[in-house]
Amino acid sequence: MGIALIVASIRIATTAKTRVTSMLLGFLLFLYFLFLYAPRLAANLHNPGPWTSGAEILALCGAAFVLAGKPWTIGRYLFAITLTVFGVQHLIYAHFVATLVPSWIPGHLFWAYAVGIAFIATTLSIVTHVKAHLAAALLGLMFFTWVFILHLPRVVSASRNGNEWTSMFVALAMCGGAWIIAGAVQD
């Protein structure tokens, strides 16, 4: 899987058959979700872990399909629907999410709820195509900001923790995915 992701990223970055590569990447991520995450979800619906990581995979799958071009408009919906998972989790687990907000930012619980609502609002915007470009662009900015104010400091303080590195790169990938969606939808 790692080699496939590296090859796909190089091909997309160098614009070598971006459409085909993005389509194949989308299918690979969808199969990864279907065979790795769907069984975990089915086995324990109340565990938030597989919901989060599974939704991340589906969001990136959706972004890859959108990058593949017009026939893959389903990608926009895949990406948007996963935001609802993140939003609901921010609302259900708000007290936990609040612990992730850096101490120098006031109103930790407020931010947990506000981000949850922002995720759900972005879902509605992308699905209904009302201000979808703006919503997706702002979502990308939100993820990009998190890379620097949340994830990078956590990586620096725990540089040997693979989970922190993964979280940072997922936030960066979600930023890119949101901007792919923003670039593909016009209000």
DSSP per-residue letters across 54-96: HHHHHHHHHHHHHHH-GGGTHHHHHHHHHHHHHHHHHHHTHHH
Q: What is the pLDDT of residue 112?
A: 97
Domains identified in the chain, total number: 1
Q: What separation in angstroms does the CA of 80 have from each of 35, 73, 96? A: 21, 11, 24
pLDDT given at position 138: 98
Q: What is the pLDDT of residue 17?
A: 86
Dmax (CA) of the chain: 46
**Residue 98, domain extent:** 2-184
The pLDDT of residue 72 = 64
Output the pLDDT for position 16.
80
Give residue 47's region: left, alpha or beta (phi > 0; psi -120 to 50).
Answer: beta
Residue 46: CB atoms within 10 Å: 5
pLDDT average per 10 residues of sequence, the chain (187 residues):
90 89 95 95 92 96 92 87 97 97 96 98 96 97 97 96 96 97 88
